[in-house]
A and B are shown apart, each in its own frame.
Chain A
Amino acid sequence: MAMTPDALPPLAYGRAITWIAFSLTAIGVLMIYSASTFWGAAKFDDPAVFLKRQLVGVALGFAVFLLCARLPVSFWSRRAGLVLLSALALLALVLVAGSRFNGARRWIRFLGFGFQPTEFAKLAVVVWAAAIAVRKGPALSRFREGFIPAVLPVVAVCGLTLLEPDFGTCLFLGGLGMLVLILGGLRMSHLMTAGVALVAVVTVFMLTRFEYIRDRISFFAGEQESYQVRQAFIALGSGGLAGRGIGAGAGKLFFLPEVAGDFIFPSIGEEIGFLGVCLVVSLFMAFVWCGYRIARLALPFDRFAFLLGMGLTAWVGFQAVVNLAVVSGSAPTKGIALPFISYGSSSLVVCLAASGILLSVARAAEARRDAA
């Protein structure tokens, strides 16, 4: 009767995901401190300033993790609309009241902390897509009743993100939403016709409008190696097999851009080497595997839990893939953080929220399995 005989119960994967998430967070805190001391000392006269801020994020993220782990899965399916609306509201707010950085409005300042609505939007898109897919059921495969109402809100989120402007995150959000919808039964043909057209229009628009994106893409397409990628290569390459030792990297001496943020991985590679890189990548792979197993084990009982679990897993997995592809020069520079590890409270909090929800899904699956 069972589709796949499974030796491990869902909760085992849930526990594993918890430890993986905490391990990645811990590695992140350590490497942020190592990477940011010179930057912090130069900019804020405090070598530990980024460490301190990230630790606040860790505390907050841990609280959110506990909360999400306790909330029933149904909480999200019932409030999917509200979650999406909140995301849209925050994205709209950032366009009005957001603080500018490098020509883009991406943060909302609140009580001395910066909050990035796009990070929350990732969670919102996954929750919404999973909920709508389940709600529509077989109707999802029809264009008017299924495709349009399911896809439009996702497009709205993407549109607001694009206005910040944040092209990379816009693409990522769109892709994530579509992925969950496809898993939920969206017809590929509809997506092809509408989605591809939309993406093409948007892309052309962006290319003509925003020079920085054009530059990034032309950098990547052309022979010219961008300074950022060159520095990432130098940092990674000088790490070798075992690394130069924690704290001994040179990339953080104002060579690597965003050394604690999007480009923290080269700094990790430089200091703990290819072996360290393998460790971090293995943790992400384990996260994806456990997330997949949790979702798969929930599938027989709860399609929403399955889609939610797969969405969250794919989110973390793809975001890690994209970040690693960027720092290894395999994709154009996007401004996508490395989940759990990159500096930034918003990203860390939503990643821990995702882990908490996955644990909650695992619990639910465990309960239903025990009940069955």
Chain B
Amino acid sequence: MSAPPPYRGMAIRAGGLTGMVMVLFLALLARFYDLMVTRHAEFRAAARGQTSTSRQTMAFRGALRDRHGRNLALTRAWPSVAVDPSAIVPEDREAVAERLSATLGIPRRTVLEQLAKDSRFRWLSRQITDPRVLARLPALACGGVEVREELARSHPAGRVGAQLVGFTDVDGQGLSGLELVLDTVLAPRFGRQALLRDGKAGLMRPPVDEASPEPGRDGADVVLAMDLTIQTFVEEALDRVVAAWRPVSAVAVVLDPRNGDILALASRPTFDPGARRNVPAEATRIRAVTDSFEVGSTMKPLIAAAALDAGLVGVAETIDCTEDGSYKVGKRTLHDHHPLGRLSFPEVIVKSSNIGMAQIGQRLGIDRTYRLFRALGFGRTTGSGLPGEVPGKVTERARWTEAYTLASVSMGHEIAVTPLQFASAFSALVADGIIHRPRAILRIGDREIPPAPLRQVYGKDVTRNVMAPILARVVTEGTGTKAMVPGHVVGGKTGTAQVLSRGGVAGYVASFIGVAPMDEPRFTVFVLLDRPRRDQGTPYGGTCAAPCVGEILARCLGYAEIAPSRSTGDGRPEARARHAKGR
């Protein structure tokens, strides 16, 4: 042994110490192997869990546009301004308030109040649309002031078409009208952007390696059949007629009889879709489909044409409408407004004889009349797709009687129809007998919705050559003279139906349906007033609804640039006659 004992002891201790350190390192490696390799999946998941998050990306709700692409409802991102009161020291409040108030155009005191709040976030001005304020916004940026984008629905047309367009809640969810029924197609799909979250959960950044897994998609734009200009005519006309006659409610429908397009649809009461708060449900209803009425005499041409079409009555035939103005059907006695004597077929309609119509109805019979109503779409929803549509009411086939049901429906009673159903049915009468499904929407996104002709209800010869001149006579010499439009041939029919209650006559439903131009119909306009005021006598369809229809038709014809047709002295449309000859 060369090394002296103390050295040897030291060498052994040093070797032992070194060995111990090595063993500890190896033990730690084993520990790291366990943590890093064996439990890799567990901790990788934990890491992902605490670092990955996502943020909703902005996407826009689809716009609603009129048939010419004019915006009715659209979603845009508008800047909103908020403050973080905790980030602004009290000494700076005055100066900051001064600047914010000047930029945003809000009172300085309001800003100061918000700045005094013990909070990290207070809104100052939301969804700013004023272009002057918008121009000043970029200069606003400073500590404690935040500008963020908020989505908001705006309605450039305001109250025009309010019920049809509908409105949304603050989150962009459709609550009424087309906003409600088309919610799923209009609704945007918000995307999600993957983000990396850090341990302070404050800073966020897009991850280096991950693409956004769910891109957002804007909602589909929807093009309505509605024409904003015509809708505006209708709204203005309704405002006037409602001011004059103060009905419980009023409905106006404008259809294109050639294809069933709903060019305008309005009702009173109405609302402002931008107001969002305090909107009465009453005012949001599309009454043209949610309410049904007994329209009365306005119905008569639909029955008469069917009888004519079936050859059950001749155009030249005279019908005895009695000298005393009363007529018994079974046990029931019917009356005309005043005794009419013997009337030709056209005169029955022009003078709106109840007795005459009852006889024509008797000839048509229960079966045919019932089938006619089915063909015209009464008692069923039209399939317009508008929300809250009701089918109306047609008496069950088994319960029809000659004296009551048949006689009543011939005069437009005991049958309830929605204004849209009726306008659609009447359009068939003037559009070569073809009924179309009312079309509210022309296009959803890229998908065109074609017109939907449903069936031939009347023969073309009857509608063009017989019914058209009769309807024109109603306006030139009958009950609908107030719907006349100078220079144009307008056809139509009035109706005044009693609304009965327990105490007797509660009021009237006054309506008028007008069509123009009669030689090549472009517009079917139906206006219905539910219980207009009676203080100046009975509110007939011819006195309150007809002028309204006349006004709407006059403006529509001008807007559509339809040239006036020369008409003969007796109101017979020369243009129509020439047209008929040409065929």
Chain A residues packing against B (C-beta within 8 Å): 1-3, 38, 42, 138, 179, 182-185, 231, 233-241, 248, 250-251, 253-256, 269, 273-274, 277-278, 281, 284-285, 288-289, 292, 295-296, 299-300, 303, 306-307, 310, 313-314, 317-318, 320-321, 324-325, 328-330
Contact = CB atoms under 8 A, between A and B. Distances in A.
Contact of A234 (B2, B6, B17, B46): B46
B563 interface: no
A183 B9 CA distance: 8
A237 B44 contact: yes
24 contacts: A2-B2, A233-B43, A233-B46, A236-B36, A236-B43, A237-B35, A238-B46, A241-B36, A250-B47, A253-B203, A274-B36, A277-B32, A288-B21, A288-B25, A289-B18, A292-B18, A303-B7, A306-B10, A306-B14, A317-B21, A321-B21, A324-B28, A328-B32, A330-B28
A240 B39 CA distance: 8
A240 B44 contact: yes
Interface residue tally on B, bucketed by range? 35 or more
B42 to A, nearest CB: 6
Contacts of B208: 248
B196 interface: yes
B36 A277 contact: yes
B244 interface: no
Contact of A237 (B2, B24, B36, B51): B36
Closest 8 pairs (CB-CB, A-B): A237-B43, A254-B199, A253-B198, A255-B199, A238-B47, A292-B18, A317-B21, A240-B40
Contacts of A138: 6
B21 to A, nearest CB: 4
A300 B199 CA distance: 55
Given A231-B199, A274-B32, A306-B14, 9 more contacts: A1-B2, A138-B6, A254-B198, A254-B203, A274-B36, A289-B22, A318-B21, A321-B28, A328-B31
A296 B42 CA distance: 45
A331 to B, nearest CB: 10
Contacts of A281: 25, 28-29, 32
Contacts of A288: 18, 21-22, 25
Contacts of B36: 236-237, 239-241, 269, 273-274, 277
A296 B22 CA distance: 16
Nearest to A247: B208
Contacts of B51: 250, 253, 255
Given A183-B10, A240-B36, A273-B36, A250 B31 contact: no
A106 to B, nearest CB: 24
B50 interface: yes
Nearest to B29: A281
A295 B14 contact: yes
B33 interface: yes
A288 B24 CA distance: 12
B13 interface: yes
B3 to A, nearest CB: 6
B11 interface: yes
A2 to B, nearest CB: 8
B41 to A, nearest CB: 9
Say whether chain B's binding surface is mostly helix, strand, loop, or mixed. helix
Contacts of B40: 237-241
Given A236-B36, A241-B36, A288-B22, A299 B10 contact: yes
Given A183-B13, A321-B28, A314 B21 contact: yes
B200 interface: yes
Nearest to A254: B199
Of listed A42, A241, A328, residue having the most chain B CB within 10 A: A328
B39 to A, nearest CB: 5
B50 A255 contact: yes
B194 to A, nearest CB: 13
A241 B37 contact: yes
A251 B36 CA distance: 14
Interface string B196-225: 111110010000100000000000000000
Contacts of A254: 198-200, 203
A260 to B, nearest CB: 14
Interface in B25-84: 25, 28-29, 31-33, 35-37, 39-40, 42-44, 46-48, 50-51
Contacts of A292: 14-15, 17-18
B196 A253 contact: yes
B11 to A, nearest CB: 6
Nearest to A274: B36
Contacts of A306: 10, 14
A277 B35 CA distance: 12
A307 B40 CA distance: 42
Contact of B28 (A3, A240, A241, A325): A325
Contacts of B24: 321, 325
Of listed A234, A289, A307, residue having the most chain B CB within 10 A: A234
B157 to A, nearest CB: 50
Of listed B3, B40, B47, residue having the most chain A CB within 10 A: B47
Nearest to B209: A248
A228 to B, nearest CB: 11
A185 B40 CA distance: 46
A274 B48 CA distance: 19
A231 B46 CA distance: 10
B25 A237 contact: no
B513 to A, nearest CB: 72
A325 B15 CA distance: 22
B39 A237 contact: yes
Contacts of B21: 288, 314, 317-318, 321
Contacts of B200: 254
A296 B14 contact: yes
A300 B6 CA distance: 11
Of listed A138, A248, A314, residue having the most chain B CB within 10 A: A314
